[in-house]
Amino acid sequence: MGLKLVHLGTGAFRAVYRIKGTDFVIKFLTDGFFDEHSRDEVNNIKKLAKSKSLRPHLPRIHYYDPKLGVIVMNYYTRYNKTRANKPHPARAYGDITWERVLISDLIKELTGVNFSDLWDENLRMDKNDVVKFVDVGC
Ligand SMILES: Nc1ncnc2c1ncn2[C@@H]1O[C@H](COP(=O)(O)OP(=O)(O)O)[C@@H](O)[C@H]1O
Ligand SMILES: [Mg+2]
């Protein structure tokens, strides 16, 4: 039985194909690269998964061949800014984009501080255009 592969994209290191009729992709190293990049990706995903806030954003890996550097992971649709903010995650609305939800979750995880009011109104800038959090009351 042969699997049909549909090319999705090629980055600097890997060529990625959707396995036709499935919700999986397979990543092959492009010629001339060793398996480091795929190994690093698999290891980094494991490390990042220790964070509760990051876990929902990590791709699901089903198979990794360290010798060939081949990874099989879930297929994900193209990034869409509008859909990324609704209906999930439920707390993303207005100025509070999914990135800001993630930042406040990471702040909570790291420091225990609830800083969820990341509205533009509560952000200011210093002379060097560094953003300042001016209302970390909640
Ligand atoms: N799980 C996936 N689902 C759908 N498309 C993917 C997936 N992983 C990667 N791609 C697509 O394939 C491209 C190349 O994959 P990537 O892992 O970024 O390779 P590289 O390490 O060479 O940059 C990505 O930019 C993306 O568009
Ligand atoms: Mg890439």
CA of 12 to the centre of ligand 2 (A): 6
Do 50 and 11 share a structural domain? yes
- Residue 28 forms part of a structural domain: yes
Counting from 1 in the atom list of ligand 1, the atom nearest the Cα of 13 is 22
**SS3 breakdown of the chain: % helix, strand, coil, rounded to 5?**
30, 25, 45
Domain of residue 12, residue span: 5-74
Do 109 and 62 share a structural domain? no
Kindly report the pTM of this predicted structure.
Answer: 0.90
Would you give per-residue pLDDT tens digits along the chain (138 residues)? Answer: 688 999 999 998 899 999 999 999 999 998 766 668 899 999 999 999 999 999 999 999 999 999 888 999 999 999 999 999 987 777 888 899 999 999 999 999 999 999 888 999 999 999 999 999 998 886
CATH number of the domain to which 28 belongs: 3.30.200.20
CA of 122 to the centre of ligand 1 (A): 36
Do 62 and 19 share a structural domain? yes
Do 70 and 27 share a structural domain? yes
